[in-house]
Structure 1
Amino acid sequence: MRELRHLISRPTNTEELLTSQQDAPTTMPPPIHISSTIASASTSHLQHTVLIQPPTPPPTFSGLTSEKPLHFLVKLQQYTEAMYGWNTDTLLRNISDYLLATAFEWYTQLRISSSVPHNWSDFQRKFIQQFTSPLRSAQARQQWDQCRQKTEEPINEFIVRLRTLWYEQKPEENESHLVKHVYEKMTPEVLLLVGVHENISLNHLMTKAQQAEQLIFQRKKQAVDAKPATTPSSSLSAPQ
């Protein structure tokens, strides 16, 4: 009888489990931010997206009179530097890959006679001299003689225009010669403010000329603002 009472008063496993669950502290799992996780994954995906551009055909030169040798050389240098990381020495060793027809024949003759220039600057001069037609040369010479900075033309635009002709007309010259030409062909008003400086670089000269142009603009603006406004006088006579 005593054993029966002991068994009845002893809690069952189910009762113990329920009691332990009620007494245990309630802990919630950390919240899962689904939206931020998706956004982060989406952003990570965008950061690793690679856009493949269609291949750009390289510039070529055939030696036709309608072609511009200087433009070709500049475009080719930019192309090979961007696509392959070439310097001018590597470009000079592979220049024949971009020459066609008459231009390729001319280069072949240079190779046979061992007359290929050893640096890019000399090759540019030789190339421009070879493929600049007499008509184009005469037109460029006339444009060079008539090239002057216009009154309202910014100095940087003028130098771009002058340097294009300078490359064709003076291939044997360097930057110091170009600086002298800029001095000779800039407007007298700008030249007066800039002054003549020995051993000045082209960039420094351009900076001083831009400062002079800014000063000229301010002076003109002040003159306009200081000018008194005039009202037209009426010449109508009173009716008789």
Structure 2
Amino acid sequence: MRNIALKLTYNGTAYHGWQVQKNAASVCETLQKAISKVCGEPVHLTGCGRTDAGVHAERYVANFRTESRIPIDRMPYAINTHTPEDIAVREAVEVGEDFNAIGSCVKKEYTYRIYNSRFKNPFYVNRAYFYPKRLDEDFLNQAAHMFVGTHDFRAVRSVGTETKTTVRTIYWCDVTRSGDLLELRVCADGFLYNMVRAITGTLLYAAEGKFAPEDIPAILESGDRTLAGPTVPPGALYLTRIWYEDERLNE
């Protein structure tokens, strides 16, 4: 039995997230069907995380076990002949028996993109959040840095998947601008449900003067979701980087 890790990318607009759903299309189910056709047997995919409905992944890793002997270098091309245009396997890697895409993941980075212009752009629909009021990226960056460190992040998560603890470590939380496009990059050892989207909403609330960046530590300390900003839409969120001890999966 081989353990295969796939490095893939997908546009999540048409899907109800990564996780298999009873009555809605998911990235996982779509990809499992394609792999099963190639391997000639049912397969079960384990993904590196649960991306929500409409969320994209520029980098994603999932693993499955198979008896198929198809050469590893041919596997991406074979699978891609059975996937829709919005899902693509970039590489396949044979990994150790104990590898698990989510359990072996060391840290992840999500990026939230804001199209900050007076006029909307049709090409950013479901790709970036349109925000017409001018934003000061230096101010946003100052506020973003307040999230860095090990904290209880209950105040910036939505009610959803239960976890043993809501404590996480954020390694960086930075805002940059390129023309009209703002990017918030957040890297952590794990994420709570809607955490990055709630952090983004909190930064925008600070930019609107509803509280100061210096108030964010107290909001986190309170654990009160109502004190933080709103959960912004999913279509502007991307999983952009993943880290494993196996360096082959980090490229």
- TM interval, shorter chain, is under 0.3
TM-score by length of 1: 0.25
Larger proportion of strand: 2
Larger Rg over CA atoms: 1
State TM-score, norm by structure 2. 0.24
Q: Which has the larger share of helix?
A: 1
> Which structure's relative contact order is higher, taking Cα pairs within 8 Å and 6+ residues apart?
2
